[in-house]
Amino acid sequence: MSEPTRVRVVVHGRVQGVFFRDTVRRAALERNVAGSVSNRRNGTVEAVFEAEPDAVDALVELCRRGPPGARVERVEVSEEPPQGAAGFDVS
């Protein structure tokens, strides 16, 4: 089992109102990824993922594609120190 990794992702484009957060939440639960996803006032979606590297990478790739109806223009990814997160929150 690998050491957990943590990343913060900010997704730009047409990413609100297209079930982006729910798509991310479902994928995170399927892969046992802890963290959160939320809409930001500036129209982006921000997510934090913490889990084994392969699971986190899969969620980042999902953010690069988005769900049907989304138009992802840019994704910013920054690594953070793991914090022992548990559960997955949507706001």
Could you say which of 21, 32, 41, 74 is catalytic? 21
Residue 41 known to be catalytic: no
Could you say which of 14, 26, 31, 39 is catalytic? 39
* Helical ranges in the chain per DSSP H: 20-30, 53-65
Half-sphere exposure of 68 (CA within 13 A, CB side): 0
Residue 21 known to be catalytic: yes
Please check whether residue 46 is in contact with residue 8, taking contact to mean a CB–CB distance below 8 angstroms.
Answer: yes
- The residues assigned a catalytic role are 21, 39
